[in-house]
Amino acid sequence: MTRALARRAAAALATAAALAAPAQAAAPPPDISAPSAIVFQPQTGDVLLRRHADAPRPVASATKLMTALVVLEQVGLDEVFAAVPYDPAPAESRINLRAGERMTVRDLLRALLLESANDAAATLAARTSGSEAAFVREMNARARALGLRNTSFANPIGLDEPGNHSSARDLVTLTNRLRRNAFFRRTVAMRSVRLGSGARERVVDNRNDLIGAAPHVNGVKTGHTQAAGYVLIGSATRDGVNVLSAVLGEPGEAARDADTVNLLRWGLSRYRRTAIVRPDRVVASSEVRYRPEDRIELVPARGLTRILRTGERPRIALAVPRQLEGPLPQGARAGTMTVRLRGRTIARIALVTAQPVPEVSIAERALDRLLEPVTLVIVVLFTMAGGLLATVLVRRRRAGREPVS
């Protein structure tokens, strides 16, 4: 093996040893005032913190997350709905739609998710399913399909009403499903947006004050009623790692926002997006058969990136042939890398040759066979046997020439 290959092999072994090192202790969770809360990491499925996370509670306008999901799954964004009559209470959030005013589903959803407009919610529900009652039935059916065991809806808005409740765990599960939709992700990350459809132009502002103010926060939905207290379903993404949170029943906006920021920041600190396997890195080498002084570098056929807990190390095992016989092209399969994480195998990746394996001449093959230990022993034995036979024959010939007395 050349010195360069030796250094690369040593580096590969050092990397494998580092990846197998034990995890470090994580920082404790922050103190929060929310009576019900959760922190969830979607890529791993880890629940980092839960406080009465399955307790059913009024959730105010977080209800509109299910309203948005049902609409997004059934209606095109470019469809146009005529606003239904809506008689709001004085303190309700709305965009003052006039009955019959025509607006795109896209703008109605923006008003629903940012301004938390109740008149937009009423129009979306009635026009999607024919009536508000039919839409609420679809909301509950979708909740059952998603496994939201502690969720029930009585209206598409989130007004305090018996039978309208959810839980912290159910709300982050619902949010995780919604975040698969690119329109939803873009919308809840906006500070404000101009609505171009409708009888007049409107600008709606995001009621989630953390958007644009807290680093990495990109959603999702606030809510407040007298029964629910202050509610915020939060999302933050940094370097490819996403964390979701929910705080329910907060005493005020300041506590709601502070708890959410602290939970999201803490959640992000516990994870990193890591390239576990890089396709351009040499991880092993094999000698060329009949040329033991030559070695062929082996690299993974593909890369592997995963979200890891801070201090977490996967375990990597290599199955590599001692020799390779050419001719083989560059990129020929020559071994396997097995990656295990949290007690299970997450990937088996082929190892391939980083250079072509040369063809060896007949003379080199013969010489190599000649130099093999077994071959050498056989040659020595044949040589000794030949010598002994020659000695015997010489003696016999000499004995035959001697005169008989």
Residues 82-114: pLDDT tens digits?
A: 999 999 988 899 999 999 999 999 999 999 999
CATH number for the region 36-269 comes to 3.40.710.10
221 catalytic residue (yes or no): no
Q: Which two tokens stand for residue 283?
A: 């991880």
Contact 273, 307 (CB under 8 A): yes
Separation of alpha carbons 246 and 100, rounded Å: 36
pTM here?
0.81
226-238 mean pLDDT: 98
Residues 67-84: pLDDT tens digits?
A: 999 999 999 999 999 999
* List 64, 166, 221, 286, catalytic entry: 64
Residue bearing the bigger pLDDT, 344 or 5: 344
Would the pLDDT of 387 be above 80? no
Residue bearing the bigger pLDDT, 159 or 360: 159
Separation of alpha carbons 104 and 78, rounded Å: 6
Separation of alpha carbons 318 and 226, rounded Å: 60
Separation of alpha carbons 260 and 334, rounded Å: 50
168-180 mean pLDDT: 98
**What pLDDT is stored for residue 6 in this prediction?**
44
Residues 349-384: pLDDT tens digits?
A: 999 999 999 998 776 666 655 656 665 566 556 667
Q: What share of the chain is helix, strand, coil (3-state, %, to 5)?
A: 35, 30, 35
CATH number for the region 3-21+276-353 comes to 2.60.410.10
Would the pLDDT of 298 be above 50? yes
Would the pLDDT of 404 be above 60? no
Separation of alpha carbons 113 and 102, rounded Å: 18
312-340 mean pLDDT: 96
Q: Are strands 202-205 and 192-195 parallel, antiparallel or unpaired?
A: antiparallel
Separation of alpha carbons 254 and 33, rounded Å: 11
Separation of alpha carbons 157 and 34, rounded Å: 23
Q: Are strands 284-288 and 323-324 parallel, antiparallel or unpaired?
A: parallel
Contact 323, 295 (CB under 8 A): no
Would the pLDDT of 21 be above 60? no
Q: Which two tokens stand for residue 264?
A: 């999201």
153-160 mean pLDDT: 97
93 catalytic residue (yes or no): no
**What pLDDT is stored for residue 241 in this prediction?**
97
**What pLDDT is stored for residue 1 in this prediction?**
40
Return the percentage of the chain with pLDDT > 70, whole number: 84
Within 10 A of 378 (CB to CB), how many other CB atoms are there?
A: 11
Mean pLDDT value across the chain = 90
Within 10 A of 94 (CB to CB), how many other CB atoms are there?
A: 17
**What pLDDT is stored for residue 297 in this prediction?**
97
**What pLDDT is stored for residue 383 in this prediction?**
66
Residue bearing the bigger pLDDT, 123 or 5: 123
Distances (CA, A) of 321 to 15, 334, 356: 20, 7, 16
Separation of alpha carbons 226 and 57, rounded Å: 12
Residues 3-13: pLDDT tens digits?
A: 444 434 443 33
152 catalytic residue (yes or no): no
**What pLDDT is stored for residue 379 in this prediction?**
52
Nearest C-alpha neighbor of 61 from the set 215, 266, 210, 206: 206
Would the pLDDT of 337 be above 80? yes
**What pLDDT is stored for residue 89 in this prediction?**
87
Residues 32-54: pLDDT tens digits?
A: 999 999 999 999 999 999 999 99
Lowest-pLDDT range, 1-5, 168-172, 254-258, 272-276?
1-5
H, E, C per residue of 82-147: ECCCCCCCCCCCCCCCCCCCEEEHHHHHHHHHHHCCHHHHHHHHHHHHCCHHHHHHHHHHHHHHCC
327-339 mean pLDDT: 97
**What pLDDT is stored for residue 403 in this prediction?**
56
**What pLDDT is stored for residue 292 in this prediction?**
83
Contact 310, 26 (CB under 8 A): yes
* List 33, 36, 93, 116, catalytic entry: 116
Domain boundaries, the chain: 3-21+276-353, 36-269, 372-401
* List 36, 61, 197, 286, catalytic entry: 61
Strand partners, 318: 337
Residue 70 Ramachandran class (φ > 0 left, ψ -120 to 50 alpha, else beta): alpha
Contact 51, 38 (CB under 8 A): yes
Tell me the one-letter amino acid at 82.
Answer: A
